[in-house]
């Protein structure tokens, strides 16, 4: 299953359809990590608005992916977690603690812009 990946300036945006199998998820992770490198993107936005469930496997893969991409010098942010999914996740104790999250695409981009400014400020 090929996932649509868009380029938005320095950012990569991946809108993930629902019902990805475990294998699809693994493939997606590797694919995205590769793309970030190839496009020399400074950040990846993963949009899961279409998801109605997020299980512990998906969470683990996402955290993997965030670390991999960070090692390649880019940020990742997960956007679009729906209320029902968020609720189910916290009940299972999956809090995605070390992963940035935002409400939607717009918020995600704004977050990344802020991060860029902060970094620019720190390295002055």
Partner 1 sequence: MAIKEKQTLLQSVPESTVLLRELASHLRDNRIPLREEWTRRIIEVGLLTAMTREEIFAEATTVYDNYVALLETGSVEAIQAYAHDLSERIIQRGVDTQEVLGIVLLLRDVLARALFKKYQPDVVLFNLVLDAFEPAANRIAKTVGVGFVQERERTILQQQKAIRELSTPVLQVRDRMLILPIIGSIDPQRARKVTELLLRGIRAHRAKVVVIDITGVPSVDTAIANHLVQAVDASRLMGAAVIVTGVSPAFAQSLVTIGVDSTKMNTVGDLQGGIEAAEQLLGYKLIKISETTRNNNEK
Q: Which residues bind partner 1 (CB under 8 A)?
A: 79, 81-87, 89-91, 95-96, 101-104, 107-108, 111
Residue placing its CB nearer to partner 1 in the complex, 38 or 93: 93
> Min. distance of Cβ 57 from partner 1 in angstroms?
17
Q: CB-wise, 18 or 95, nearer to partner 1?
A: 95
Give me the least distance between CB of 109 and partner 1, in Å please. 12
Alpha-carbon gap, residue 103 to 77, rounded angstroms = 10
C-beta closer to partner 1: residue 36 or 111 = 111
Shortest Å distance, C-beta 91 to partner 1? 7
């Amino acid at each position: 299953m090929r996932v649509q990946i868009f380029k938005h300036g320095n950012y990569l945006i991946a809108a993930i359809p629902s019902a990805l199998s475990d294998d699809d998820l693994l493939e997606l992770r590797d694919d995205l990590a590769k793309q970030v490198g190839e496009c020399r993107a400074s950040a990846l936005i993963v949009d899961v608005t279409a998801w109605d469930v997020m299980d512990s496997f998906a969470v683990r893969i996402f955290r993997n992916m965030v670390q991999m991409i960070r090692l390649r010098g880019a940020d990742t942010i997960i956007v679009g977690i729906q209320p029902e999914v968020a609720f189910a996740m916290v009940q299972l104790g999956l809090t995605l603690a070390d992963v940035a999250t935002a409400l939607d695409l717009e918020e995600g981009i704004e977050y990344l812009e802020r991060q860029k400014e902060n970094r620019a400020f720190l390295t002055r």
